[in-house]
Amino acid sequence: MPKIRPATPKDAPGIAAIRAPLVAETTATFTTVEKTAQTLAEEVNAKSWRVMADGPAVLGFANFHEFRPGPGYRYTAEVSLMLAPQARGAGLAAQLLDAIEAAAKSAGIRTLVAGISGENTRALRFFATHGYVKAGQLPAVGHKFGRDLDLILAQKSL
């Protein structure tokens, strides 16, 4: 039975394995830079990262991080969530989102923002279903695979 828990540096290889194909093959993220397990191990912070794991196998991860620099944004964070292909469609993403929202709220975050590719209709529906409201659309601010991509910002008050 999968369990959600704070991430540790030991989860970094599993996180990297989930993230790499999404970076290389999709517009779910606009980045083209894959992160190594070593880099991710340095980034993992138990306060702001959660993993869904089945034993040692990481099935998904979520984190929240600074939305924008400066003290005026200290109560707002950006949320990210990714699942391994075998974990999709079973309701696990909702559990992981609930866990990262609880962690963010516990850390004093009042608002979470999701930056979603305009092409990622599955993610747009997912976040809308979970209370995220479209706050804006930034046309053609992303570029990947030779295409300009819109960024949709959705936010939720915690």
Q: Which CATH number goes with the domain that contains 95?
A: 3.40.630.30
Q: What is residue 48's predicted lDDT score, i.e. its pLDDT? A: 95
Q: CA 28 to CA 44: how far, in whole Å?
A: 21
Q: Are the beta carbons of 31 and 23 closer than 8 angstroms? A: yes
- Spell out, as residue ranges, where the chain has pLDDT lower than 50: none
pLDDT of residue 126: 97
Domain count, the chain: 1
Residues with Cβ < 8 Å from 20, sequence gap 6 or more? 34
Element (H, E) at 19: helix 12-25
Average of per-residue pLDDT values in the chain: 96
Please name the helix (run of DSSP H) or strand (run of DSSP E) that holds residue 39, with its range, or none: helix 37-43
Classify residue 68 by its DSSP letter: S
> What is the 3 state secondary structure string of 99-127?
HHHHHHHHCCCCEEEEEEECCCHHHHHHH
Question: Which amino acid is located at 20 in the chain?
Answer: A
Confirm if 154 and 113 have CB atoms less than 8 A apart: yes
pLDDT for res 110: 98
What is the pLDDT, as a whole number, of residue 45?
Answer: 75
Predicted local confidence at residue 152, as pLDDT = 98
Range of the domain at 35: 3-157
CA 82/CA 63 separation, integer angstroms: 9
